[in-house]
Amino acid sequence: MSLMTNETYINAQTVVDFLWQLRIYHFDMKPIHIILDNARYQHCDLVKYTAWQLGIHLVFLPPYSPNLNLIERLWKWSKKKTLYAKYYDSFDKFKNALINNLLQANLLFQDELDSLLTLKFQKVNQK
């Protein structure tokens, strides 16, 4: 598994570094599609050019579509599993707990994640 962490902020260069890491990890040159949520730095020429160079297809979610953004659901689930009613006396312990939770998620919580991360959902009519 390829893993990249960041302890500051995300910008175009961070995305470019991730694209390179992803292509190195998946060196077979099979197509890679990445679903993105329209952050401004994801649309810049540097990111688009690097993705094109590496044979990575950038797929942008429609604006204002949080129900399609599975990473938001995964992040909420991860926070619940890692943070709720728990105390970490250092940032490193918190970070390690979060990483371990994500690395073990498919093994320990597969049924829960299958239900949570599905694209089969109903839109509730609100009046």
Residue 68 has pLDDT above 90, yes or no: no
The pLDDT assigned to 108 comes to 86
H or E stretch covering 60? strand 56-60
pTM over 0.85: no
In this prediction, residue 31 carries a pLDDT of: 87
Q: What is the pLDDT of residue 15?
A: 94
Comparing 49-53, 61-65, 74-78, 85-89, which segment has the lowest mean pLDDT? 61-65
DSSP secondary structure letter of residue 106: H
Taking the mean position of all CA atoms in its chain, how far away is CA 104?
16
